[in-house]
Amino acid sequence: MTTTPATSPLLEFSGLPRFDAITPAHVEPAVRSLLEALRATVQRLQDDPAPATWDSFVEPIENDGERLGRAWGIAAHMHSVMDTPEWREAYNAMLPEVTRFYAELGQNLKLFEKYKSIRNSPEFATLSPARQRIIDNELRGFRLSGAELPDDQKPRFQEIQEEMAGLGAKFSENLLDATNAFSHVVTDEAELAGLPADVIAAAREAAEKTGIAGWKFSLKMPSYLPVMQYADSRALRATLYRAYATRAAEIDNGFSKPEWDNGPLIAQLLALRAEEARMLGYRHYADVSLVPKMAESTEQVLGFLRELAVKAKPFAERDLEELKAFAKTELQLDPLEPWDVAYVSEKLRVARYAFSEQEVKEYLPEPKVLAGLFKVVEKLYQVRIAPDTGPVWHPDVRFFRIERDGALIGQFYLDLYARDTKKGGAWMDSAITRRRVGDAVETPVAYLVCNFPGPVGGKPATFSHDDVITLFHETGHGLHHLLTRVDDLAVSGIHGVEWDAVELPSQFMENFCWEWDVVREMTAHAETGAPLPRELFDKMLAAKNFQSGMQTVRQLEFSLFDLLLHMDFDPASQRVMDLLAEVRKEVAVLVPPEWHRFPNSFSHIFAGGYAAGYYSYKWAEVLSADAFAAFEESGRPKGSVLDAETGERFWNEILAVGGSRPALDSFKAFRGREPQVDALLRHSGMVGA
């Protein structure tokens, strides 16, 4: 039954999204009606002969645009967290139309001229800095959307945007389908040797649910990672490794379908991006990608990555030699195969630091972890986090509110566990963005989404320390969105923040996971309730930079590959895998097998907005490490890095201002100087080769 727009819960904008009532059937009629409304507003404004002003021109477009953005955002969110056939169909049915509309909007010369007229009018000088930045961002956006292209080229430019949006969605779906298609059933209990009890229990539960005897393993992280890290069975590790490495590829791995092969999609996306760049007058797509970022040029980014690689590679080579020697002498694994790396690394960590990640995991039950996380936020920013009520899309989802002095600041959904219908990874997204409407302020609402193992056998979920770091990371993004004080939508929260600075607040939060006064507050042994012993934490700390050289060059490998792929690479005459091999020769120390198809699952750059921008993680890590050093400098003498005074400055200068000023200005306002790489090298243990 098709719902009429007038009664659609997707068209209720006065409160929280109606996840209790919204269905896939609501998407098409609601989104169509919002597109029509915004089209009518645009038509009226572009034909209005009166001079454009902020109130008469920008605000009406922003208001109608926000309604469309909110409704379409819910559809996109459901496509990510409840990817049933019905939601997939509803999202994909409207994706081309929504993409086409935004492409048309970005090329509307009449609107472009109106924004330019505001920029050149006396009113511009009277606007707040935030509104001036919005106007400048809009003008830049029009230029990047092809507004200045000749009319005969605009239809092709629009086609490119639609094709790229469709290919990105298909890339993500292929990867999810290929991941879900694989399962491996173990019937011989001896093959489970080395695996943690909770992982074995979850595998048993998964088998029982599908009516089979034995233990069922999948390629989802809560199942895949423990096998690679703990399973004594080399054959079991090799089976899962090969399956994971060949997802959504052309290789016949026994479970993937040819139509899930992401290889052709990669070639098409790269060709379309290169064509878009040429049409806009840029050398290549990497140049286009960098226009709205902090970095000044691709040459600057390449220099940054290669300089870091030169510093990190000796540490990475030392890490690998240690790993190979340990594998050979202690485990009789020679040569060291790729499916041995995580396993041997865990054994070496245990041997060297006398603890295992599984041992730590027993001390990190979900209720304590959440309480500890919330305490960090509350102490740093003098706020209160409390459970709240609101409709949710799945029974596992929880909802919270953040208050200060009794006043509501924002709210957030927490969706922690892996599901078959949920895309992999972890992310934060905005449900509602803070803005002023008349005399009232709409408070922000965020989605925090992870893919952790859920409760097993009626006991609370327990998280690895890496899971905790991921949760803190996404919470950092959430706080950037929720603690904004900017009232103008387009630069409120994370909106308008340069892409290579967006990771600053998230990576900044990760640092607290290595502070004793934080960690001890979030631990209680799953069986005994005892807190994490200080001795065990000291071992974790000693092991913190274990293999940091190898981890760093791995990130640099991804970053360089991404950037070079979007520079002078031609998918018609060059192979993606050949470029990756060249990059690995330059920076990598671990080279996977020839049949490994990493690019086919590199969602960040082919389906996640990081194209020619993956370097942002390392770029922002410099900023975040340097920012955290301010808390070390002010807090250590007081006995805790949870320093409210520095927290207030971080809120005021970084989180509160959102995208209302350049990120570098915000950083310098907080730190009093330009960013320096020293803190990152120190935190990573890469000082003094």
DSSP state, residue 7: G
User: pLDDT tens across 245-268, in order?
Assistant: 999 999 999 999 999 999 999 999
What is the tens place of the pLDDT at every residue in 360-378?
999 999 999 999 999 999 9
| Residue 623, pLDDT above cutoff 70 | yes
Tell me the whole-structure pTM to 2 decimals: 0.88
Q: CA–CA separation, 190 vs 529, rounded Å? A: 31
Beta bridge partners, 449, equal 415, 427
- Cis preceding-peptide flag for 335 (omega within 30 of 0): yes
Say whether 163 is catalytic: no
CA 211/CA 195 separation, integer angstroms:
22
* Confidence at 5, pLDDT banded by 50, 70, 90: low
pLDDT digits (tens, 9 = 90+) for 147-197: 999 999 999 999 999 999 999 999 999 999 999 999 999 999 999 999 999
Residues 6+ apart with CB under 8 A from 59: none
Q: Which helix (H) or strand (E) holds 307?
A: helix 298-331
pLDDT > 70: what percent of the chain? Answer: 99
Is pLDDT at 591 greater than 60 in this prediction? yes
Place 688 in a pLDDT band, splitting at 50, 70 and 90: low
Mean pLDDT computed over every residue of the chain: 95
Q: What is the DSSP letter of 545?
A: T
pLDDT at residue 1 in the model: 43
Residue 638 pLDDT class (50, 70, 90 cuts): confident
Helix H or strand E segment including 408: strand 407-417
Quick one: average pLDDT of 64-91? Answer: 97
CA 219 to mean position of chain CA atoms:
20
In degrees rounded to 5, what are phi and psi of residue 282?
A: -100, 160
Percent of the chain with pLDDT over 90: 94
- Owner of token pair 């006043």: 407
Residue 677: its pLDDT value, please?
A: 84
Tell me which DSSP letter residue 2 carries: P
The predicted pLDDT at position 4 comes to: 52
Tell me which of 28, 66, 173, 474 is the catalytic residue. 474
Kindly tell me if the per-residue pLDDT of 517 is higher than 90.
Answer: yes
Contacts of 688 (CB under 8 A, 6+ apart): none
CA distance 554 to 305: 12
Question: pLDDT category, 6, cuts 50, 70, 90?
Answer: low
Domains and CATH numbers, the chain: 5-148 (1.20.1050.40), 182-260 (no CATH), 282-334+545-689 (1.10.1370.10), 354-534 (1.10.1370.40)
- The residue-averaged pLDDT of 638-652 equals 95
The β-bridge relationship of strands 445-452 and 407-417 is: parallel
Distance CA 377, CA 472 (A): 10
Q: Which residues contact 663 (CB under 8 A, 6 or more apart)?
A: 294, 497, 498, 501, 504, 623
| Digit-coded pLDDT (tens) for 29-39 | 999 999 999 99
pLDDT the model gives residue 648: 98
